[in-house]
Structure 1
Amino acid sequence: MNRAPGSLVPYRSERTSPVTIRSASGPDLPFGPADTPWQKTFSGLRVVDGVPQVTAPSGDPRQLYMEIPEVPFSKVQIPPNGLDERQYAEAEGLFRRYVDSQTHNFAGYQVTSDLDYQDRLSHYLDRHLNNVGDPYQSSSYTLNSKALERAVLDYFASLWNAKWPHNADDPESYWGYVLTMGSSEGNLYGLWNARDYLSGKLLLRQDCAGEAPSVVYTQALRRKGQSPHAYEPVAFFSQDTHYSLTKAVRVLGIDTFHAIGSTRYPDQNPLGPGTPWPTEVPSVGGADGTGAIDVDKLAVLMRFFASKGYPILVSLNYGSTFKGAYDDVPTVARTVREICTEYGLDERRVYHGRDRDSDFDMRSGFWIHIDGALGAGYAPYLQMARDAGMVDDAPPVFDFRLPEVHSLTMSGHKWIGTPWACGVYMTRTGLQMTPSRSSEYIGAADTTFAGSRNGFSALLLWDYLCRHSYDAQVRLAAECDGLAGYAHDRLLALQEKLGIDLWVARSPQALTVRFRRPSDAIVRKYSLSCETIHVDGEARAYVHLYAMKHLTRELVDELVRDMRQSDAFPDSEGCGARRWAGIVPALAQEDTAACRSGLLRAPVTGTRSR
């Protein structure tokens, strides 16, 4: 029964005698698994002077939030008294079945869902592990996994050809840490480091009599003869870059070439004088291309700003989000070096003061960051597979073999596979911007982006790497590369049989295949990632699948079968019911014949063929 706000509502507490409370402002909506009016969900301990001391709902969350049919929101709403055992079992059961079902068909995102940590590591779910502070410093906060974190970081330093182990006194040795957020955090930290490095931020130690020494964060002063833009870094990244880069430059206040060009040089776009500046560096072939950055156009843009004295900050993709593309890191690194050398930005002095004899640091006038969220996790093994003759080709070099690479990041939940987001950030010790002071509270310098860091993530990465040798990972990388090729071939064959342009494409060595978006039901069943790409004035709705370690040929075949149905592409031209009625049976017969002849591998129960 609905009651007006402020009216009296009878209520029975579990622990006390019946009480009467006055309704808080807001509607008396059904709430929780029992559809109890919200005002009746409180115990007497949460009521003061007849009024609940919390806000009432201003609207019905069940109507406002996106619906998940398998998990009705009413079943998982949390009343002030919580859920009883029966309600909890029902709610958790619904959620568990939903997650298990979606996990079985999960094909559209670059994460690994084939996980097996539970038997070995469930003990630690009842332990608190917090890796607050620098990974290489001891801390009074002893409930941490830093010993395992350091082992994980050494592993990746070796894999990425950095100098290891970390040595605080060796500027060429690596420094890094295990991320809590994933590569979005690594990108944010890398660009933060780059901004401070290129903009001339300095950390100076001050010793005052009778006081503890302190470190002061200051700005280098521009010297006579230096460009007025000497400490104004300008950022470059491609149109296929992950959206976290756009967020990062906004949060950090880093100007992109588009922002500076549009405001200070509006008619001087070097790619087309008098035309608007592009918002990002174009990719090869434009929107319909492979997704790799156009190095020639990047060079033109960089030269424009380097000639005016701007420091250059380049972020490159190594396994881009939608197309899985690899930027040509060696060619970009060489191009950046050549242009910066031409304009005196390859190496420069950053002075601590205005005096002629002032101390100075030697720094490069450029920074290259690698967003290797996916690619940095498996490409080294794919390169090993190529060298062993197991695959024909592999992505280009991207790591610390290139002296121009300053930092890189990788997500642990993608190639390796973890229950939650995590990752690794790495740079060289000499490039690290040390924090302004150590934290006496935790007993260690907090050189990382976050304060508290998830110590369980380092444990998960350590566990995986301990149980997967180089040889095993090389085989896995080769198998996934082959599975991506299999999916590409199956979709091309479907496209030919249907006589419909499904826009099937796979970028070189990518683990993803993109194609025309099918019906919403298929998109949801397989969790296919969607993106609209404008090609020659046409807005094309694409999806993609990723050949991660959990994907099988059987699941690819099932997806292809689903896309033969008459309602699979409701927005496609020429897909009328009559046409489909003739196509579908013919395709089914051809698949059966192909399996019998060995052209297609028939599904085998209990196996995971790739």
Structure 2
Amino acid sequence: MKTPLNTKDNERLSSYMKLAEARAKHFIGYPIAQDFDYSELYPLLKLPLNNVGDPWVESTYDLNSRSLELEVLEFFAELFHAPANNWWGYVTNGGSEGNLYGLYVARELYPNGIVYYSEATHYSVQKNIQLLNLRSIVIRTQKNGEMDYEDLNAMVQMHRDQPVIILANIGTTMMEAKDDLQRIQQILRRQAIKNHYIHCDAALAGTYSALLDLKPGFDFNHGTDSMAISGHKFIGSPIPCGLVLVKKNYKDRIGKAIPYIGTVDTTITGSRNGHSPIFIWYALKKLGKEGLKQRALECL
């Protein structure tokens, strides 16, 4: 049943909408793409799409966008050279959730591990570390915002008896600095660290860096175990979103079957927004890989 707003509430909504549209015209300073048009998808906003649970396992809640979500994940798995038959992922609410998931997997692998992250790391990481009750050490940064590898080497050497969990920045918030996975792995080898895990926070820079093959490399071919990117930043979406990719043999340590939803609980949130995967899918299909490359070049 449709119930119209009363006059006062209608005026309040109209006033807000005018303000939001005006602000959008002059909205700068945040890495948010606005040049998108998803009007073709508006009819889907009438539907309660929910991708609850694991994207690879169907649910009794069959009003979902799992099939399109899997196509999105496959696109990025190929882009980031995820190992064939040994990767997994899902569309998240944004980079912060992806970082939480990467650290969650690392904790399940190495409960006594220490997280090393630079002082230029996104604020969500410290919060995630607290939520997961992980030990951590903050590493100094260089003038360009990149991790100070001498400081990392010294800190790892002091705690050689503990597994190492690296949170690498692939584009810091203020300077877009990229931590060098090759140099990080050299340190791990130098200190004879056998038990280690590397997660890359590639929220903004990850997609365009991979498309343009920018150095230093950071994908699965370069040693990452998991990575998180944002969908609303480089690609653009009216709803904040992102995705996380992880090696499947690591992910398999997490999750349990939930009978009443008919699927497996392997994600951070239970109910997951079913609209965001469609927005990302639509953008990928409209632009294609070459269109995304051109988009990246135009932004440089």
TM range (shorter): over 0.9
Match of 2:116 in 1: 236
Q: Report the Cα distance in structure 2 between the residues aligned to 1:338 and 1:474, rounded to whole angstroms.
A: 37
Tell me the number of residue pairs that the alignment of Structure 1 and Structure 2 aligns. Answer: 298
Q: Report the Cα distance in structure 2 between the residues aligned to 1:87 and 1:434, rounded to whole angstroms.
A: 53
Q: CA deviation at 1:99?
A: 1.3
Q: Report the Cα distance in structure 2 between the residues aligned to 1:139 and 1:461, rounded to whole angstroms.
A: 22
Alignment RMSD, CA only? Answer: 1.6
Indicate conservation of the 8 Å contact 1:193/1:433, yes or no: no
Which of the numbers 317, 332, 336 marks the counterpart of 2:169?
Answer: 317
- The structure number with the bigger radius of gyration is 1
Give the direction of change, closer, same or farther, for the CA distance of 1:83–1:122 in structure 2 (3 Å limit): closer
Match of 1:185 in 2: 97
Q: CA deviation at 1:140?
A: 1.6
1:440 partner letter? P
SS in 1 for 2:68: helix
- Structure 1 segment 108-119 matched on structure 2, within 5 A: 108-118=29-39
SS in 2 for 1:237: strand
Which of the numbers 179, 186, 197 marks the counterpart of 1:327?
Answer: 179
Per-residue CA deviation, residues 98-147 of structure 1 (Å, 9 max, x unaligned), is: 111221111201111222102x1001000111101111112221111000
Give the direction of change, closer, same or farther, for the CA distance of 1:433–1:250 in structure 2 (3 Å limit): farther
Match of 1:140 in 2: 60
Match of 1:566 in 2: none
Indicate conservation of the 8 Å contact 1:412/1:421, yes or no: yes
Q: CA deviation at 1:84?
A: 4.0
Indicate conservation of the 8 Å contact 2:255/2:266, yes or no: no
Match of 1:447 in 2: 266
Q: Report the Cα distance in structure 1 between the residues aligned to 2:278 and 2:247, rounded to whole angstroms.
A: 24
| TM-score (normalizing by structure 2) | 0.95
Q: CA deviation at 1:193?
A: 0.8
Indicate conservation of the 8 Å contact 2:255/2:264, yes or no: no
| TM-score (normalizing by structure 1) | 0.48
Per-residue CA deviation, residues 209-268 of structure 1 (Å, 9 max, x unaligned), is: xxxxxxxxxxxxxxxxxxxxxxx21111001001100101111100113xxxxxxxxxxx
Which of the numbers 196, 208, 225 marks the counterpart of 2:108?
Answer: 196
Q: Report the Cα distance in structure 1 between the residues aligned to 2:271 and 2:25, rounded to whole angstroms.
A: 33
Match of 2:48 in 1: 128
Matched, 1:150 2:30: no
SS in 1 for 2:220: coil
Indicate conservation of the 8 Å contact 1:196/1:433, yes or no: no
Match of 1:368 in 2: 198
Q: After the TM superposition, which parts of structure 1 deviate over 2 Å for at least 4 consecutive aligned residues? A: 82-89, 333-339, 433-437
1:87 partner letter? K
Per-residue CA deviation, residues 563-609 of structure 1 (Å, 9 max, x unaligned), is: xxxxxxxxxxxxxxxxxxxxxxxxxxxxxxxxxxxxxxxxxxxxxxx
Match of 1:255 in 2: 135
Q: Which has the higher helix share?
A: 2
Q: CA deviation at 1:434?
A: 3.6
Which of the numbers 270, 282, 285 marks the counterpart of 2:140?
Answer: 282
Q: Report the Cα distance in structure 1 between the residues aligned to 2:189 and 2:56, rounded to whole angstroms.
A: 32
Match of 1:520 in 2: none
- Structure 1 segment 445-594 matched on structure 2, within 5 A: 445-481=264-300
Q: Report the Cα distance in structure 2 between the residues aligned to 1:84 and 1:178, rounded to whole angstroms.
A: 34
Q: Report the Cα distance in structure 1 between the residues aligned to 2:4 and 2:52, rounded to whole angstroms.
A: 34
Q: Report the Cα distance in structure 1 between the residues aligned to 2:229 and 2:211, rounded to whole angstroms.
A: 14
SS in 2 for 1:450: coil
SS in 2 for 1:469: helix
1:318 partner letter? I
How many percent of aligned residue pairs carry the same amino acid?
A: 34
SS in 2 for 1:454: coil
Greater relative contact order (Cα < 8 A, sep 6+): 2
